[in-house]
Structure 1
C-alpha cells in the first residue's frame, strides 16, 4: 500500500457464526465475517450490546407461566432482531469503507504504473535524442574539415579553372551533404522535443501521485475503523445470539435446556469446525514452482499452492470487463486451502477490499508489503496489529469479490509501488 503506518489495533482469532433464528442470524454473522474476517472481543458500544440479556434462570422461571413464557419469547425475538439489524448495519458500513479503500488504492496504483511507463518512455527518448545530437555534431565537424562552405568552393573554382570538373564534383557532394545535415539537425531537434515532452508529462503525473496517496491513506484509516467497530462486537454478538436462539428454542418447544447443555453443545460444534479446518489445512494444490512449506535462504516462502493463472500488468478484468491494472499475480490454489504469510510481518488491514474480496495486507518493514485477496467469508484468521511469523497461516483460499473461481490474488509492493510478484519472489529465492 502507499500507507503502512500501524494503527495499533488489537488482533484476534476468528470465531464462527452461530446457528441463528430462521437461519437469519447465521447469514448476518457470516456476512459480517465477510467484511471483518476476525472476531475481536470488545465492550458494549451500541444498543444491542447494551441490552439486558436474559439468563437461563430467567427462561426457566418463565416456562411455568404461559403469559410469562409468551412475553419472554417476544423479548428474545426482539433481541435477536436487534442483533441482526446491528450486524447488518456494521456489515454494510465496513463493506462500503472497504470498497472505497480498494478504489482509492487502485487509482494510485494505476496512476503510478502509468507514471513509470511515461518515465521509461522519457528516458528512452532522451537516449535517442542524445544519439541524434551526437550524430549532428559529428556531421558538423566533418563539414568543417571538408570545407563545406559554398562560397569557399566558388572562390576555388574561379581561381583554379583547370580543376573545374573535380571542384564541381566536390561542390555537388558538399551540397548533398549539407542537405543531409539539415535533416539530421531537424531530427535531433524533434527527438529532443519529444524527450522533453515525455519528461514534462511524467513530472506532472508524479506530482498528482501525492494527492492520490493521501486519499488512499485516509481510506485505509476509515476502513480499519469500520472493521474494528464491527470486530469489537462480533464475538459478543455471536455468543449472545447463540444463547438467545437456544433459549428461544427451549421455550417454543417446551424442551428444558440448561446452560450446561448449551455450553456442551457449543463445545462440540467448535470441535467439529476445528476438525474441518484441520482437514482443509492438510489439502494442497500442485505447483510447478517452489513447493509450499519450503523456506528460501532469504527467509521467504510460497503463500499458497497452485500455478500462476493470471500475471501482473494491465488487463481486461474477467468480471467487470474494464481494462485496468492487475496489481498482483493469481495462483490457482484449491478452495479453502491455507494461505501463508510469505515472510514475517505485521497485519495492517484485514477485511473487505472491493473487487479483491476478503483481503489481508501485511507490512514486513523496510518498505515491503504483501497482500492476499479473494479469501472466503470468515476465512481470514488474523487481525489488524497482529504480528505473524514466516509461513504462519493467515487465511484460506476463496473466490470473493470479482472472481470467477477459487484462487489467491497475491500482491507485493516496494515503498508503496506494486511490483510483479513473480520477479519479486524470484529475487528472494521462491518460484511462483
Structure 2
C-alpha cells in the first residue's frame, strides 16, 4: 500500500510538471500564431503594392509606346516635306526667282509665297517631332522608374513570403510541441487516476469505469458528427435555394478535374471597385477576385486537388484558406465564418472536397465567397481561368 501511495504521489508530481509545461507552451503558441498573422498581413500589403506597381508600369509603357509612334509619324512627315521641298525648289528655286524677276514680278512673288508656306510646314513638322520625342523620352524615363519600383516591390513581396513561411514553421512547431505535451498529460492523468482508483476499488471496477467513459465519449463524438452533418446539409440546401438557380453548382467536377468552389451568382467581379470597410478592415480599390453570393454557412469546395498552405486569419481576407495545386497555380478562399474551417495547413485535398463554410469575416458586406486564382505571385481574373477548365463561375 505504501508503494502504491508513493507511486501516486510521483505520478501527481509528473502531472503538475506537465501541466506547467503546457501552460508555457500555450503562451508560446499564441505568440507564434500572432507573429504568423502579422507576417501574413505584411505579405498582403506587399502583394497589393506589387500588383499596383505592375499595373502602373504597364500603363506608363503604353504611354511611351504611343508617344514613340507619334514621334515616328512626325519624322516621316518631316522627311516627306523635305523631299517635296527639294523636288519643287531646292537650288533651282533661286534660278526661277531670277528668271521670273525679268517679268512683271507676279510669278516671283508666287514662288516666294510657296517657299514661305513650305518653310512653315517644315517648321511645324519639326515642332511636332520634337514634342513627340520629348514625350517619348519622359514616358520611357517614367517607365524605367516604374520597372525599378516594381522590382523593389517584388523583392519586398518575396521577403514577406519568406518571413511568413518562417513564422508558420515556428507556429507549427509550437503547436506540435503543445499537442505532444497535452497527449503526455492525458496519459499521465490516466495513470494517476488509475492509481487513485486502485486505492479505493478493484482493478476490475476501474476498467469498467474506463469502458463507460469511453462509451460516453464515443456517443458524444458520434452525436456531434451527426449534428455537423445535418447542419452542413441544411446550409447546402439553403444555399441552393438562395441562389435561385442562377449560380453554378458548387463542388461539381469538370472533365479537367476542376470544380466550382461555391454555389451562387457572381456578386463582385475582378477589377476596380469602391473600398469596403468592416470592423476596422478596409479593402483595396482594385478587386483581385470574383465574389460568389453563397449565403451564410454555405459549403465552400476545393477548386482542384492540392495541399493547404494557409488556414487562418489573414488581414482583410478575414478567415482564409489557400491551396497550392502545383505548376505554380494556387487558389484562395476568403471571408470564411468563424469556426468554419474543415481543413488545416499541410492537408491534402481533392477537387470538390468541402474545405470550409462561407461567412462575412474581414472586409466583407454580407456572407459570400471571395475566390482568387494565383499564377506565381500574380492574382488573375478567376472567371476566364475557371471557364477554360470547364468549371464556370456564377
Report the TM-score range of the alignment, normalised by the length of the smaller protein.
0.7 to 0.9
Gaps of 5+ in 1: 1-56, 63-67
CA deviation string 1:244-266 (max 9, x = no partner) = 8xx99xx9xxxx99433332332
Partners of 1:200 and 1:427 lie apart in 2 by 35
Partners of 1:296 and 1:265 lie apart in 2 by 43
CA deviation string 1:155-204 (max 9, x = no partner) = 53233235224313312321331232122112221231133123212321
Structure number with higher helix proportion: 2
**What's 2:74 paired with?**
135
Partners of 1:370 and 1:179 lie apart in 2 by 58
CA deviation string 1:183-227 (max 9, x = no partner) = 211222123113312321232123213421332222232232144
**What's 2:150 paired with?**
206
| Aligned residue runs from structure 1 range 95-244, under 5 A | 95-147=34-86, 153=93, 156-161=96-101, 162=103, 163-232=107-176
Q: Secondary structure at the match of 1:334?
A: coil
**What's 1:264 paired with?**
215
Q: Secondary structure at the match of 1:365?
A: coil
Q: Secondary structure at the match of 2:56?
A: helix
**What's 2:253 paired with?**
295
Closer/same/farther in 2, CA of residues 279 and 91 from structure 1, 3 Å limit: farther
Partners of 2:183 and 2:276 lie apart in 1 by 40
Q: Secondary structure at the match of 1:316?
A: coil
Partners of 2:365 and 2:27 lie apart in 1 by 26
Q: Secondary structure at the match of 1:376?
A: strand
Q: CA deviation at 1:364?
A: 1.2
Partners of 2:177 and 2:55 lie apart in 1 by 43
Q: CA deviation at 1:303?
A: 0.9
CA deviation string 1:260-280 (max 9, x = no partner) = 333233223322322232223
Is 2:305 the counterpart of 1:352?
no
**What's 1:8 paired with?**
none
Partners of 1:179 and 1:135 lie apart in 2 by 11
Structure 1 runs, 4 residues or longer, greater than 6 Å off: 74-82, 148-152, 236-244
The question of whether the paired residues in 2 share the 8 Å contact of 1:280 and 1:338 is answered with no
**What's 1:363 paired with?**
324
Q: Secondary structure at the match of 1:196?
A: helix
* Larger relative contact order (CA 8 Å, sep ≥ 6): 1
Q: What's the RMSD between the two structures over aligned residues?
A: 3.8
TM-score normalised by the chain length of structure 2: 0.76
The question of whether the paired residues in 2 share the 8 Å contact of 1:136 and 1:188 is answered with no
Q: CA deviation at 1:342?
A: 0.5
TM-score normalised by the chain length of structure 1: 0.70
Q: CA deviation at 1:334?
A: 2.6
* Residue-pair matches, total: 359
Partners of 1:88 and 1:306 lie apart in 2 by 41
The partner residue of 1:316 within 275, 291, 303 is 275
Q: Secondary structure at the match of 2:73?
A: helix
The partner residue of 1:385 within 340, 343, 346 is 346
**What's 1:54 paired with?**
none
The question of whether the paired residues in 2 share the 8 Å contact of 1:280 and 1:337 is answered with no
Q: CA deviation at 1:239?
A: 7.2
Gaps of 5+ in 2: 197-204
**What's 1:5 paired with?**
none
Q: Which moved more, 1:308-317 or 1:215-224?
A: 308-317
Partners of 1:317 and 1:237 lie apart in 2 by 43
